[in-house]
């Protein structure tokens, strides 16, 4: 048989957000609200910390679990933010991004043929990582109850099979902006304990919450779980500190899993870049003032976009409590990819199609409002005008 790409790899689907990005990249002048990052560059104090780290010789390999000093900073941060005590040596693993934390955590919980329940609409990498581990993702959509998304616990129970090993949820959610309540977390934990499953919480947007006082984090599952629970938290420096290009994240997990994840890092990536880990320490220690300023800007953008969308015909948009996305549902839309493509080609506004986010996503579009006002406002004006054109409907009646 001729050499070929392994069918298990070939089966992993493209990201539909990337498909839009790909078209947009060939179109200069696009107002880009499709990606999951801020247009603000990494703050100067973090860049200076990286330069200093290079001058100080952080140019060599580090531990697979990351620099001990960074893990200690992370443990300090959990104590301060959540009153949670963690063992930095055995319960925290630094990773080369949130994506890599997710990937290694899933690799440690899923054998070929095992199943994972993934709460959707969700950023596609959770389900894709399950598929990469030759597992089977089973999507369970959130349901809209009035103005708020909720977890459908009956659907979760119904989706269980003897092969289920893992539940993945994201709070604050990309793309919904939904934030799990304490009661949601209690029920998820009880569900995972009762069925002896791993519970993986993607808390990458933990610091991007718009309740007062600004800067207070979303509740972490680590506050509810004991250190003996089969719980994993995936985290990242990307969103809180505008460090998407730096590739530094971490995970917190029960000791046996954390130990295995650190060991597997050796064969996947070895570790996150050494000087970037030092810069991440600076972000944790000095980042609060910048973070609060950024939150105030995002909140203003969120409110502007919400007000404009509320005037658009046939649009339902629950108020997001966290992250930096809006996920409006457009009445009658059946092909969000075609909608986003036409919007891009005709108005130069780039949005992400809801279909990219799995079950429950079709019929919506995702708007990332973490850009300058000079981009967000005209983009929203063009979107609202486009929504008013009957020819733009892409399946709308």
Distance of closest approach, residue 242 Cβ to ligand PLP, in angstroms: 11
Distance of closest approach, residue 174 Cβ to ligand PLP, in angstroms: 4
Write the CA distances from 30 to 61, 151, 254, integer angstroms.
40, 36, 44
Distance of closest approach, residue 1 Cβ to ligand PLP, in angstroms: 36
Q: What is the DSSP letter of 133?
A: T
Interaction residues for ligand PLP, span 83-102 (CB under 6 A): 97-99
Near ligand PLP by CB under 6 A: residue from 64, 129, 170, 336: 170
Interaction residues for ligand PLP, span 355-384 (CB under 6 A): none
d(CA 42, CA 373): 18
249 binds ligand PLP (CB under 6 A): yes
Nearer to ligand PLP, 258 or 387 (CB): 258
- Local structure of 229: helix, strand or coil: coil
Instruction: Give one DSSP letter per residue of 235-294, joined into a string.
Output: EESTTTTT-GGG--EEEEE-HHHHHHHHHHHHHHTSSS-HHHHHHHHHHHHH-HHHHHHH
Nearer to ligand PLP, 201 or 387 (CB): 201
- How many CB atoms lie under 10 A from the CB of residue 181? 16
Nearer to ligand PLP, 323 or 330 (CB): 323
Nearer to ligand PLP, 344 or 370 (CB): 370
Nearer to ligand PLP, 123 or 275 (CB): 123
- Which of 184, 197, 188 lies closest to 230 in space, CA to CA? 197
Nearer to ligand PLP, 97 or 185 (CB): 97
Q: What is the DSSP letter of 209?
A: B
Peptide bond preceding 121: is omega within 30 degrees of 0, i.e. cis?
yes
Distance of closest approach, residue 310 Cβ to ligand PLP, in angstroms: 25
Interaction residues for ligand PLP, span 192-221 (CB under 6 A): 202, 204
Q: What is the DSSP letter of 208?
A: -
Token pair for 257: 């899993």
End-to-end CA distance of the chain: 50
Near ligand PLP by CB under 6 A: residue from 34, 36, 220, 344: 36
Near ligand PLP by CB under 6 A: residue from 34, 123, 298, 339: 123
Near ligand PLP by CB under 6 A: residue from 42, 220, 238, 277: 238
Q: Which residues make up the interface to ligand PLP (CB under 6 A)? A: 36, 97-99, 123, 170, 174, 202, 204, 236, 238, 244, 249
């Amino acid at each position: 048989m001729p050499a070929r790409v392994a069918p298990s790899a070939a089966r992993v689907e493209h990201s539909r957000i990337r498909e839009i990005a790909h078209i947009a990249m060939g179109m200069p002048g696009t107002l880009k609200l499709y990606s999951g990052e801020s247009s603000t560059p990494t703050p100067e104090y973090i860049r200076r910390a990286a330069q200093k780290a290079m001058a100080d010789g952080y140019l060599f390999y580090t531990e697979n679990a990351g620099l001990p000093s960074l893990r200690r900073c992370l443990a300090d941060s959990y104590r301060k933010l959540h009153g949670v005590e963690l063992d930095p040596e055995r319960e925290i693993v630094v990773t080369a991004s949130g994506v890599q934390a997710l990937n290694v955590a899933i690799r440690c919980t899923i054998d070929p043929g095992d199943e994972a329940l993934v709460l959707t609409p969700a950023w596609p990498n959770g389900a894709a990582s399950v598929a990469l581990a030759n597992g089977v993702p089973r999507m369970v959509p959130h349901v809209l109850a009035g103005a708020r998304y909720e977890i459908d616990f009956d659907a979760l129970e119904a989706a269980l099979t003897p092969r289920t090993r893992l539940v993945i949820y994201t709070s604050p959610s990309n793309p919904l902006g939904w934030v799990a309540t304490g009661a949601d977390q209690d029920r998820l934990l009880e569900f995972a304990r009762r069925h002896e499953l791993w519970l993986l919480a993607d808390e990458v947007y933990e610091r991007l919450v718009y309740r007062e006082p600004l800067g207070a984090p979303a509740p972490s599952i680590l506050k509810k779980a004991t250190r003996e629970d089969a719980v994993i938290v995936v985290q990242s420096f990307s969103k809180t500190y505008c460090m998407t290009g730096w590739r530094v994240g971490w995970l917190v997990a029960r000791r046996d899993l954390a130990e295995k994840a650190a060991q597997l890092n050796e064969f996947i990536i070895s570790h996150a870049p050494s000087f970037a880990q030092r810069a991440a320490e600076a972000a944790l220690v000095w980042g609060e003032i910048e973070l609060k300023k950024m939150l105030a800007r995002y909140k203003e953008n969120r409110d502007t976009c919400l007000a404009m969308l509320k005037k658009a015909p046939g649009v339902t948009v629950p108020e997001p409590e966290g992250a930096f996305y809006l996920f409006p549902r457009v009445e009658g839309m059946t092909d969000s990819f075609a909608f986003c493509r036409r919007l891009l080609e005709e108005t130069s506004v780039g949005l992400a199609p809801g279909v990219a986010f799995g079950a429950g996503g079709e019929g919506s579009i995702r708007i990332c409002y973490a850009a300058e006002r000079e981009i967000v406002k005209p983009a929203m004006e063009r979107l609202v005008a486009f929504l008013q054109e009957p020819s733009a409907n892409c399946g709308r009646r």
